[in-house]
Amino acid sequence: MLICTHCGRKYPAEFLRCPICNEPLQLPYFEGKIKKGNKVWKRFADFYPFTLLPKNSLGEGDTPLLYLPKLSQQLKINIYAKNETQNPTWSFKDRGTFVAMQYVLNISRRVGTVSTGNMGASVAAYAAHLGVKSYILVSKEIPEEKLAPIGIYGSEILRVMGDYGELYYKSIEVGKEKGIYFINSDNPFRVEGYKSIAYELAEKIDGDYVIIPTSSGGLFRGIHKGYVELKRSDLIEDIPELICAQAAGCSPIYNAFSQGKERIERVEHPNTIAHAIRNPYPPSGNAVLRILKEGNHCEIAEDHEILEAQKELAKDGLFVQPASAVSLAVVKKLVAQEKIEKGSKVILVLTGAGLKYILPIRINIRDCSINDLSRCFE
Ligand X SMILES: *Cc1c(COP(=O)(O)O)cnc(C)c1O
Rounded-to-integer distance, Cα 168 and Cα 185, Å: 8
Contact partner at residue 18 from Zn ion, ligand X, none, CB < 5 to 8 Å by partner kind: Zn ion
- Select from 214, 251, 286, 310 the one that contacts ligand X (CB under 6 A): 214
Binding part of the chain for ligand X, among 35-43, 97-105, 213-221, 308-316 by CB under 6 A, reads 213-221
Binding flag, residue 313, ligand X (CB under 6 A):
no
Residues in contact with Zn ion by CB under 5 A are 4, 6-7, 18, 20-21
Question: Which are the contacts of 255, defined by CB distance < 8 A and separation ≥ 6?
Answer: 261, 264, 265, 267
Q: Are 97 and 183 in contact (CB under 8 A)?
A: yes
To ligand X, the closest distance from the beta carbon of 284 in angstroms equals 7
Nearer to Zn ion, 102 or 286 (CB): 286
Binding flag, residue 125, ligand X (CB under 6 A):
no
Contact partner at residue 6 from ligand X, Zn ion, none, CB < 5 to 8 Å by partner kind: Zn ion
Binding flag, residue 97, ligand X (CB under 6 A):
no
- Where in 341-370 is the site for ligand X (CB under 6 A)? 351-352
Rounded-to-integer distance, Cα 307 and Cα 169, Å: 32
To Zn ion, the closest distance from the beta carbon of 334 in angstroms equals 33
Q: CB count, 10 Å around CB of 235?
A: 17
Binding flag, residue 219, ligand X (CB under 6 A):
yes
Binding part of the chain for ligand X, among 49-57, 209-217, 226-234, 251-259 by CB under 6 A, reads 209-217
To Zn ion, the closest distance from the beta carbon of 246 in angstroms equals 25
Nearer to ligand X, 43 or 227 (CB): 227
- Where in 253-282 is the site for ligand X (CB under 6 A)? 276-277
Contact partner at residue 219 from Zn ion, ligand X, none, CB < 5 to 8 Å by partner kind: ligand X
- Which residues of the chain form contacts with ligand X (CB under 6 A)? 91, 93, 118, 185, 213-220, 276-277, 321, 323-324, 351-352
